[in-house]
A = this chain, B = another copy of it.
Amino acid sequence: MVWLQKLFTTKTETDNNTLSEHSGERDWVTVDPKMFGNCKIFFSTNQSIDVYELEELCDSVGWARRPLRKVRKALQHSYLVASIWEFRGARSYLIGFARATSDHAFNATIWDVVIHPRFQSKGLGKAFMRYMINKLRSNDISNVTLFADPQVVDFYRCLGFIPDPEGIKGMFWYPE
């Protein structure tokens, strides 16, 4: 997994490619050709997100559809919107996504982590989470949290997330 170690030394460039429909800084990921072939992949925290493309990505992992109006609002009001892109034939395709809400000072909570099935189980998700954590920590956010479905608790554990630290319980409100 050489590419994971190299991740944070990747070249960041500003997109001036008028052929691409997305604009913003790209953090190119050095990937293992044995796993990814000749894929060109980059991470970003400021690429504009097309909600239809995001819905397609969420469809690919079987998530329930959500009102696009609310998705758009949630994107606008997320502190960090991070995405993974495959660059192919002068176009970028959304293959991963996550976002975080925050008070910009102490706490950030990561939501909606999704990786296209074609790119799962190759270490890309872990690198992407490290990228997000790195962004949050570099902005002086001390407390990074999330709510993990049972099947991904171990995935997050590998990244340094602890469930119920010191007995602190994640709780969800349900109408009484």
- Chain A residues proximal to chain B, CB less than 8 Å: 66, 70-71, 73-74, 76-79, 99, 101-107, 109, 111, 133, 140, 143-150, 153, 156-157, 159-176
A52 to chain B, nearest CB (A): 17
One of B107, B147, B172, B176 near A101 (C-beta < 8 A) = B107
* A103 with B143, Cβ < 8 A, contacts A171-B153, A175-B160 known: no
State the oligomeric state as a number of copies. Answer: 2
Which chain B residues lie closer than 8 Å to A109 at the CB level?
101, 107, 109, 145
One of B66, B133, B170 near A169 (C-beta < 8 A) = B170
Q: Roughly how many angstroms separate A168 CA and B109 CA in the complex, as a whole number?
A: 14
In the complex, the answer to whether B73 meets A104 with C-beta atoms within 8 Å is: yes
Interface CB pairs A-B, < 8 A, 30: A70-B140, A77-B79, A77-B104, A77-B105, A99-B103, A101-B101, A101-B103, A107-B109, A107-B111, A109-B109, A109-B145, A145-B170, A145-B173, A146-B171, A147-B168, A148-B168, A149-B166, A149-B168, A150-B166, A150-B167, A160-B174, A160-B175, A161-B173, A161-B174, A162-B173, A162-B174, A164-B169, A164-B170, A165-B174, A169-B170
Interface SS, A side: mixed
In the complex, the answer to whether B167 meets A162 with C-beta atoms within 8 Å is: no
**Residue from A102, A133, A168 having most chain B Cβ neighbours under 10 A:** A168
Closest to A145 in B: B172
